[in-house]
Homo-oligomer: A and B are copies of this chain.
Amino acid sequence: MLGSSRFVIGIHVLTILARAHGRHPVCSTFIAQSVNTNPVVIRRLMANMEQHSLVRSLAGRKGGFILARQPKDITLKEIFTALEGAELFRMHGREPSKECPVGASIARVVSGPLKLAEEAMNSALARTTLKDLLTEIPV
């Protein structure tokens, strides 16, 4: 299982922004109430998502967050990459023994199949956009 719930929270947050898209910014306090967490937690997520050009922040009174792009152009894959990082599989904590033929080559041997699996997951995530999710949520 993933180490954190940042991905699902990120989808939640961006779906809220998609609902307000083109109308008004949404502040971290409002979002935090929907997610049932602290506003600072939301702002920390937003920092990552702003770096990946998913959202923009507007400072000052009447500020908040808005989508940086159209809901139809933002996919779950991008959200995942922004919040969970590129690496899906955690490798050995300590270096395996180079004395053992398996230990010496396992990292290389395993990298191909794991990369394919990661790409398969990313491709699936890329098929869903925020707009897709929005259509399933009542107005």
Residues on A lying within 8 angstroms of B by beta carbon are: 1-5, 7-9, 11-12, 15-16, 19, 33-37, 76, 84-85, 87-97, 99-103, 105-106, 108-110, 113-114, 116-121, 123-125, 127-128, 132-133, 136-139
Contacts and interface: CB of A to CB of B under 8 A. Distances in A.
Given A89-B7, A91-B8, A102 B36 contact: no
Contacts of A118: 121
A85 B33 CA distance: 31
B5 A2 contact: no
A103 B1 contact: no
Contacts of A84: 1
Given A89-B2, A105-B138, A76 B113 contact: yes
Contact of A4 (B37, B90, B120): B90
A16 to B, nearest CB: 5
Q: Sorted from nearest, which 6 A-B pairs have the closest CB atoms?
A: A120-B124, A34-B100, A117-B124, A121-B121, A113-B128, A34-B103
Contact of A33 (B1, B8, B97): B97
Contacts of A109: 15, 133, 136-137
Q: How many copies of the polypeptide does the oligomer hold?
A: 2
A121 B123 CA distance: 10
11 contacts: A1-B87, A5-B90, A5-B92, A7-B90, A16-B100, A33-B97, A109-B133, A116-B124, A117-B124, A117-B125, A119-B124
